[in-house]
Structure 1
């Protein structure tokens, strides 16, 4: 299974989407998905697991998941006690502001998550109240849609991110929310893939390194991530290709090879399947 592209209907002038207090079930949860927008997921109740990038997390009341753009992720709600959560999606341009003479950035928490590969924050009771209050206000503004409601929503999002960044940077450091759920060999395998995805990696090699049978490895990997090994590696390569298309001036063929693709037709085909446009169109748009 390849991840789907989450589609946002928001207008370009207001790159924002919101899902409020949604009760997740396995039937209603999206497959693995990938998008350019940044995402916050706050858990009100219920249980489940959340696969993000290369880590599997528990989902519990008061957890906040901070997901940068172009990060593969999928939630697995518990069958008996499914998660109720709010998801907030936005493009960074929503928060474009002058610096005001400070180095502070609302997006700092996303950058820290990306750099540390730690996407879960176990919120203090005070922060939980701040987050829930801000999300309630966003829902109220969206529902009423009075004059200036978009400006009000941006202010509430900024207020939420300010509280999150202050908690991360203050005395209450982020708790060990990165604790991996699952067998240690799965953690090691995901880390190995993350560090070597541009190379040739086979199921037989991974299962041998993990000291389990290929069938067992494949089954647990699919249960944990929602994808088979080949699809997962392909997605990691596409994410890297998107990054290089923006940052580098090399030809698309050179970048595709650098990401581990040996066939240009195959690269173009899977890039369009996952991203929704050709590599050249993505580079031009960005």
Structure 2
């Protein structure tokens, strides 16, 4: 056979792939981009913190936490950094290739994307860590993480570039706020400036429900939520949700839920929790959610209590579609979540979503509200009463051992910054400030930490927040942050702090435990803090352990 015929035979049936492949070629810290920078490759610029501006081909754009800039063309960039809050982040250069050798375009957007979801950027932090410290046992991990990052950014671009249906979105928002009033399709269509027929077609296309079915859903879900936190008269409840009398509400309720309002209030429910804090509150009441979010610490505690196992839910591994499917698979009667309007609205077809406000409701009040929902109010009050007895013992001992408490600050070291907290954000501060009588440093109060719940600072700036007691609940986990933290500990400013001189700095490094803002985590955090503050009080720890078992 000739060479030509052999080549033809080899190529017979072979087609050239039309796929594009993306290869990262360079990674740099964002603060290195301080002079005009021109890259021949596509580039992703990711801002993790700080404030500044990006000058792109003569046009200036604001940069802050959660900003992403995407360019696939030869672009001249220059950063302008705010000295009060320097920018932190990374840049990734990558090439786009096809099997035939052409260079297609990468991701591009003419202006930086603002407020990109934090979960979408998680692969970027992991990618940086793997890029800086390659793992020989996982040679393809960097490529996997980069592909995951590109996929997420591509989906975010597509979502932002979809044509908006402003009148339709406004109609949905109006219904959310006024479902308990007299609403008709014709009234809503007139308000939107479209015909009733067009309104109906658009509504069904985007919600999968008719206008009347959606209005009924909003009203019945609201009635379910009100029933779970009280037992109002049916006629009163009907008026609250938009119906004229209780008999009609009862009929509509039974059509939608399959139970009467009274039977629903007292029925056993399949509960889904979308945050580990709410899972922990249920476990403290001896209830296991049908599907719940757990930390590994909470899983161990759940196993120790020998409670019946249910399904565990990891919200970070799902797309919006599989997220919904995972929840639907357990046929929930109730979903407990923190306030997140857009996500929670999408779950209404499954079950009522009991939204607990973040930061404005203490862990105690959240615990009591969840107890009301599951008819366990007396058990929760008994739990809190025993916890308060425990706090009385602890404070009596601290009065003897420490006297006046002074100031305390809790730090958590992240990949690129340090964070300290107020009591409304937990992290052990709810114990230090609310129960044990410590005070936040004056500088935190001056910076308004109570309003935001936390303050972000450079790792090197930790020494600028002096306190009588300094507590680290999370230590550096990547080479860059470890280097910066070591630099802090060697600095003269750090060594001059009174807390350092008097050995009142505590390295607890229990990030998962201190993340919890719930009764069980609070109890465990208390014991960790006391181990640090009063290391000689062995009898106190034993007493607390026994009291904890009784609680």
Q: TM-score, normalised by structure 2?
A: 0.23
Which protein, 1 or 2, shows the higher relative CO under an 8 Å CA cutoff with sep ≥ 6? 1
Bigger radius of gyration: 2
Q: TM-score, normalised by structure 1?
A: 0.43
